[in-house]
Structure formats: C-alpha cells, structure tokens
Chain A
Amino acid sequence: MNDSIPAAREIDASEPAFLSHPTLDRLVTVVLELGAQLWIERDRRQILEAILAANGALPIDAIETYRHSPDAQAARESDKKAFVERLFDSLKTL
C-alpha cells in the first residue's frame, strides 16, 4: 500500500494521444493547467479584495504602487519557478 508519497502524475510516454499529434494533447493539458492557475488567482484575489474593501483597508493606489522587499522578491521568484514547472509539467515526458 502506498502510504508515503503521491504517485507521479500519470502522464508519461505511454499517454494516449486523441488529437492529430501527441504534442497537441500535451498542449491541451498545458492550457487546462494554465486555466486552473488563472482561476486560483482570480478566486483568491476576489476574496482578498472583498475582505479589504469591507474593512476599508485598501487605499485606491495601494496595489498599483506596491514594491516587494528583497526577501519577498526572492520568494516570488521561487514561486514563479514552481508555477512554470507545474504549468508545463505534461511536456516533460513528451
């Protein structure tokens, strides 16, 4: 019984192709994943902005003029790397 780590995503060289070229199948998966990441961000931002607005805590230019601290910027870069890797995960075994 596997009770330690999740199995790898079951997209590998044997993944069936339903479209005219296997690359297209992988690209559909990329697009679906991209959509998921967009939706996650939109969902969270809408909740966040609703909470801030309800508390009167969001000055009008606060988001547009914001700058990250160096540490936060480094964390952001790390997040971005993970984001891209997840997005293009299905291409890795093409």
Chain B
Amino acid sequence: MNRGMTGLLPRTPTLEDESYLAYFEGVRNFAISTLFPVAAKQIEAACANNTTAGPGTELPISTLRKTADALPMVGAWKRVMRSQQQSTWHKIRESLYANQAQYEQQLDDAERLRPNRLHFSADFQVPPYAALPIHLQPGGYVGDSLAGFVFHHGTKVFYQGANDQDELHRDVVRMTAEPEDGRVRQVLDLGCSIGQCTTALKQRWPDAEVTGLDVGLPMLRYAHKRATDLGVDVHFTQALAENTGLLDGKYDVILAYILFHEVPSRLFRPIVREVKRLLRPGGTFTIVDAPNSTQLPAPNRVWLDFDAQYNCEPYSPAFVASDFQALLADEGLRLTECGPTGGFLMRTTSVKPV
C-alpha cells in the first residue's frame, strides 16, 4: 500500500511504524526540552561546587564527565537520548526493509528516468573515516543500500518533526551567500547528504547548474530519486570533499551544511584548500555548522561529549574547538560574515578575493 507523503517525506509503509516514530519524536523532544534543562542546572551547580580545577579554570573534560555522571538526571537523560536513537533507527530499518525490493526499484527507476545526473565510479574507495555509523545509524551513510531513505525518516525524528518540508534546508539556502556581482552559474553543495539543500539551491538559482557532492552513494541515490520526484534538475557526484576531482575556478557558490563536524580535523585545511581551488574569484563559500567555541558552558560540553562518546559523533568536539575564521583567512578566503543562524547552528561566509 502506498500511504502517500507527509509533505516531502514519503510516509512509512504502515501507520503502526509512523505512530512508533512519532512517539519517539515526542520522547526526543521531552529529553531535549524538559530533561536537559534540569540536567543543565544540576551540572552548573555541581561544577560551581567543584573546587579541584581552581577558580576561573575550566574543568578538564575527565573531571566534568565525572562530575556530571554522578548526577542521576544526567544518567537518565543520556539513557533516554541513546535508547531513543537506537529504537528509532531499528524501527525505520525494520519498516523499510520489509519492502526493500520496492525501495530499490524506486532508486533504479529514477536512474532510468533521469540518466546522467548521478555520477559515480565503481572504483571509488570510501575512506575508513567516512564509514562510521554516525548518529548510530546502522551502516552509516555508505554501508546500507537504503541509507538515504533511512536517514530521511531518522532526521525527521532528530529534528523533532521539522523535516517534512525541507524547512531547515530552505532556511540554510536562504542564508547562503551570493557573489557581489550576482553571477551564479555553478553551485556546489559540499557534503550534500540526501540533497535537501541541493534542490533548494536550484530553486533559489534556477538558471544555475547545481551539483550535490557526497561520499555516500546510497545517500546520493536517494537524493537523485528525491530530486527526480520533485522535478528538480540537479546533479549528484560521489567524491571526497578534500579531493572532489572537479574543475579549478568553476563554482560561483559553494555551501557546506553540517559537513565539517562529521570529518576528522586533519581534513579541515585540505577541504578549505579544495574549496578555494574550486571557487572562481569573487565566488562565495558558506559554512553552516555547529558553533566554534572553546568557551562552551559546562552543560553544552557534557552534551558534546555524550554525542562524541555515545552517539557516534567522534569528530564533533574537534570541530567545535577549532577556529574556522582563522583557517579560512589562512587559506586566503576573505571572511564576510559570521554569526548564529537563529537556531542552534552558526553561519560563516567568505569570498575568494578577486
């Protein structure tokens, strides 16, 4: 039975699965909006009472971890967050794999219907760093043929429901920097995942050729199917952000939405260098990602540490602690703006000097 769509998201095969996921969406919301603020106050109070680090000195992460983990509320919050994540992925995969052939067919049909829009090589080697089960998603972005379908449903829960209409992605594209001369012929969505920004970029600049690039072929296959369903003509390419294989100076606009916190810190500079190579003079680079900060409040550090340790976000702490403004400048990109998005992310825009 085809149960139709919820906005731009295909409904799950059964009402039971939809109800299950909606419930865990509510559980996640409760953990974030109700449990965590209580835990945060307790963490702050416990840190204020901890004199081992001395006044004015930030607690080392090992001490902070020990201090926070002694609080039952922190344990309860972590347990609910992790179990919610595990149960969500498990149900989505159980639900979709019961109809695996149907979903595989949809991917194949899109590639027949709109050929020459999905570019990949059978020889492509996925580096080990990209093969992790990020956010505990079994198989991650590269090791599960239905990863794109799974990710789309999983991120609806992750964003507590706000993922039916590409809401967040449309916002990100609205805040993507346009070159001063207004010329936008080539756009690159670096680390495009399932292409939600890619299609929104094409809708913002309909005359441009827009390419989504990602390491995960299952994600790109779903992105291509999705764009085909939406009737949005974009390209998808499997490649590494640090070694795209694309032409020098080709791009007017490059966007990296929540890419950097999912790659090892040793790749930050090579990726920025690659972006500079790909941009034409006057071309813009927009990063939307977690805020960079070495002065995070203790509760935020506890959450970041939990994500790194128990939600398979191992690269995130190094990204948060990094100084991307300095890195961009160091690689010859001119910073134009940096500030919060209005949500929980930060936007950093830069331009390749003319």
Contact = CB atoms under 8 A, between A and B. Distances in A.
B16 A44 contact: yes
Contacts of A2: 138-139, 143-145
A84 to B, nearest CB: 16
Interface stretch (B41-49, B93-101, B274-282): B93-101
B90 A36 contact: no
Interface string A1-15: 111111101110000
B15 interface: yes
A20 B75 contact: yes
Of the four ranges (under 10, 10 to 19, 20 to 34, 35 or more), the interface on chain B belongs to 35 or more
B27 interface: yes
A38 to B, nearest CB: 8
Contacts of A35: 23, 27
Contacts of A11: 86
Contacts of B218: 1
Given A10-B138, A36-B24, A19 B80 contact: no
Contacts of B23: 35-36, 39-40
Contacts of A7: 93, 138-139
B19 A32 contact: no
Interface string B217-246: 010000000000000000000000000000
A18 interface: yes
A6 B90 contact: yes
Contact of B83 (A4, A6, A32): A32
Interface in A6-57: 6-7, 9-11, 16, 18-20, 25, 28-29, 32-33, 35-36, 39-40, 43-44, 47
Interface residues of A, number: 27
Contacts of B142: 1
Interface in B305-345: 309-310
Interface in A49-94: 90
Interface string B135-155: 010110011111000000000
- Residue from A3, A6, A28, A33 whose CB has the most chain B CB atoms within 10 Å: A6
B87 A40 contact: no
Interface in B110-143: 136, 138-139, 142-143
B97 A32 contact: no
A43 B23 CA distance: 10
Contact of A40 (B20, B74, B75): B20
A65 to B, nearest CB: 26
B84 interface: yes
B19 A6 contact: no
A91 to B, nearest CB: 13
B78 interface: yes
B72 interface: yes
A5 B97 contact: yes
Given A18-B78, A40-B20, A1 B94 contact: no
B145 A3 contact: yes
B76 interface: yes
Contacts of A3: 100, 104, 144-146
B76 A18 contact: yes
Interface of B: 15-16, 19-20, 22-24, 26-27, 69, 72, 74-76, 78-80, 82-84, 86-87, 90, 93-94, 97, 100, 104, 136, 138-139, 142-146, 218, 309-310
23 contacts: A1-B139, A1-B145, A1-B218, A2-B139, A2-B145, A6-B93, A9-B87, A9-B90, A16-B82, A16-B310, A18-B74, A18-B79, A18-B82, A19-B76, A20-B75, A28-B76, A32-B83, A35-B27, A36-B87, A39-B20, A40-B16, A40-B23, A47-B15
Given A3-B145, A9-B87, A16-B82, 9 more contacts: A2-B144, A6-B138, A18-B76, A18-B79, A29-B79, A33-B87, A35-B23, A36-B87, A39-B26
Question: Which 10 residue pairs spanning A and B have beta carbons closest together?
Answer: A3-B145, A6-B93, A18-B75, A7-B138, A39-B23, A43-B19, A18-B78, A40-B19, A29-B83, A18-B79
